[in-house]
Amino acid sequence: MKDITAVILAGGKSERMGEDKGLMLIDGKPMVQHLINLFDELEMHSIIIANNDQYNQFGKAVFRDIRQDKGPLGGLHSAFMNSNSRSLFVASCDTPFITTELVNVLIKNYEDKVSIPKYNGKTHPLIGIYPRSIFETIESQLDHSNYKIMDLINSLEITPLDVSENFDANIFRNLNTKNDIQTDVNVRFYGLIAERVNQSEVTISIPNTSNIDLRNHFNTKWPFLNEISYKIAIDQELRYELNKNEHPKEIAILPPFAGG
């Protein structure tokens, strides 16, 4: 692994969420824990930038914003100040669905210039790698009271890495309001699928930001599903799309011989 420290930005005020979103539960775990687990799996050293002492519970070094109330740009500034690494892999705490595959692709294409993804025309500056060489540019922008991270990207003439053909849109979902999260959805597994996940059911959280193709969502969550044929039943109705604001009692993932 290159000299990269993983940084989880959790210093925002979460005004639209109404509570500290990094601590909100997704699939039974705090949102920030998903990112901690991701970077641990990749064996990357990680730190948290947060102004809430509750983040000390996760066993990672926690640093406050040095320049308070300056948004993600201020968090990036604090991360550089509290790390000796040559580069930082930055992830906002409200992007709990990013995958090891995405991180590896960004690292593979990193050449000491900012490496951030672009998906279907939208750039995601809070998922990506930032070199220490841009620190003075960040300080200058903060000194001029410009806290927009996209202004930083544009000033550096960065070309985001287009990953539209390789990843599912769901991993780029960020959760800003409680309406973005659908909690306590019971998913039941049957047959060989239950054997592969070693359980018959689980309670998960599903993004509620738009209609969602559950096949794509489940394939990302349980990659082995890409290798087999299966059906999905939402409250006993065979279909794949979950509509926004729909709250099913149960979702079943069925092996190919089930459901007729």
Q: Which H helix or E strand runs over 189?
A: strand 181-189
Q: Cα–Cα distance between 163 and 115 in angstroms, integer?
A: 12
Strand partners of residue 195: none
Q: How high is the pLDDT of residue 178? A: 65
> What's the whole-model pTM score?
0.73
Q: How high is the pLDDT of residue 15? A: 47
Q: Which of 47, 33, 45 is nearest to 2 (CA)?
A: 45
Q: How high is the pLDDT of residue 174? A: 73
What does the block give as tokens for 29?
A: 């775990």
Q: Which residues of the chain have pLDDT under 50?
A: 15-16, 258-260
Q: Which of 107, 79, 115, 82 is nearest to 3 (CA)?
A: 107
Q: Cα–Cα distance between 103 and 17 in angstroms, integer?
A: 26
Interval 108-131: pLDDT, tens: 999 889 999 999 999 999 999 999
CATH top class, domain 4-172: alpha beta
User: Exposed, middle or buried by CB within 10 Å (0-12, 13-18, 19+), for 158?
Assistant: middle
Looking at residue 240, the DSSP 8-state letter turns out to be S
Q: In the chain, where are the structural domains located?
A: 4-172, 178-254
Report DSSP letters for 67-84, one per residue: STT-HHHHHHHHHHHT--
Coil, helix or strand at residue 223: helix
| Sign of the CA dihedral running 93, 94, 99, 101 | negative
Asked if domains 4-172 and 178-254 share a fold, the reply is no
Q: How high is the pLDDT of residue 183? A: 57
Cβ atoms 206, 180 nearer than 8 A: no
Q: How high is the pLDDT of residue 108? A: 93
Mean of pLDDT over the chain: 88
Q: How high is the pLDDT of residue 220? A: 81
CATH top class, domain 178-254: alpha beta
Q: How high is the pLDDT of residue 253? A: 96
Q: How high is the pLDDT of residue 180? A: 65
Interval 224-234: pLDDT, tens: 999 999 999 99
The residues near 154 (Cβ < 8 Å, ≥ 6 apart) are none
